Amino acid sequence: MAKLDILRYPDPRLYTRAVPVSMVDDSIRRLVADMAETMYAAPGIGLAATQVDRHIQLIIVDTSEAQNDLQVFINPELIASTGDAEREEGCLSVPGIYDKVHRAEWIRVRALNLDGQPFELEATGLLAICIQHEMDHLLGKVFVQYLSSLKQSRIRNKLKKRLRETL
Ligand code: NI
């Protein structure tokens, strides 16, 4: 396994739309293992392939307290959603920035697992939020894009300043 580099907002590669995974093979399973290592090391509760510059429809999440329940969604599709939930979100691609975003409260998602088998899952609470956040990455969308343009430009300036300071 290897830790991968995470793209940082506003890196334009984060705006790439991911394409479906055509076959769930060992290269995909290897990528999932690397993404899991990257996510747990960060630490984070979700990661989309987009964030490690692999533009395929693959997300991983682990919202468990003990961080021992990895869930993998390949070619995820939202097939139903309802309700409204507002929660403070963060993102490994936007370090140190947290803000409230509205999402569906309940979702049903369909995806393939690591064996290439289809499954469906219903989720509420943090898991539902996390899945929606990660699925947005596959559409080239970062959560800060839900915020006002004033907030977005402040965040961009803050992150650029921080990047300069670390160079
Ligand atoms: Ni994110």
Cα of 132 from ligand 1 centre, angstroms: 10
Domain that residue 122 falls in = 12-166
Cα of 96 from ligand 1 centre, angstroms: 12
Residues 69-103: tens digit of each pLDDT? 999 999 999 999 999 999 999 999 999 999 999 99
Q: Catalytic: which of 77, 88, 105, 134? A: 134
* Residue 21 lies inside a defined structural domain of this protein: yes
Q: Beta-carbon neighbour count of residue 18 at 10 Å?
A: 20
**Mean pLDDT for the chain overall:** 96
Cα–Cα distance, 71 to 5 (Å, whole number): 21
* Residue 73 lies inside a defined structural domain of this protein: yes
Q: How many domains does the chain have?
A: 1
* Burial (Cβ within 10 Å: 0-12, 13-18, ≥19) of residue 154: middle
Cα of 116 from ligand 1 centre, angstroms: 24
Q: Is 134 a catalytic residue?
A: yes
Q: Tell me the helices (H) and strands (E) count for the chain, helix number first.
A: 3, 7
pLDDT of 167 reads 66
Cα of 114 from ligand 1 centre, angstroms: 21
Q: Pairing mode, if any, of strands 106-112 and 99-103?
A: unpaired
Cα–Cα distance, 131 to 103 (Å, whole number): 10
* Residue 1 lies inside a defined structural domain of this protein: no
Residue range 23-51: mean pLDDT, rounded: 98
* Residue 4 lies inside a defined structural domain of this protein: no
* Residue 7 lies inside a defined structural domain of this protein: no
pLDDT confidence tier of residue 163, bands split at 50, 70 and 90: confident
* Residue 52 lies inside a defined structural domain of this protein: yes
For residue 124, give the CATH number of its domain. Answer: 3.90.45.10
CB-proximal residues (5 Å) to ion ligand 1: 91
Close Cβ partners of 61 (under 8 Å, ≥ 6 residues apart): 45, 46, 47, 70, 71, 73, 127, 130, 131, 134
* Residue 89 lies inside a defined structural domain of this protein: yes
* pTM for the predicted model, two decimal places: 0.96
* Residue 5 lies inside a defined structural domain of this protein: no
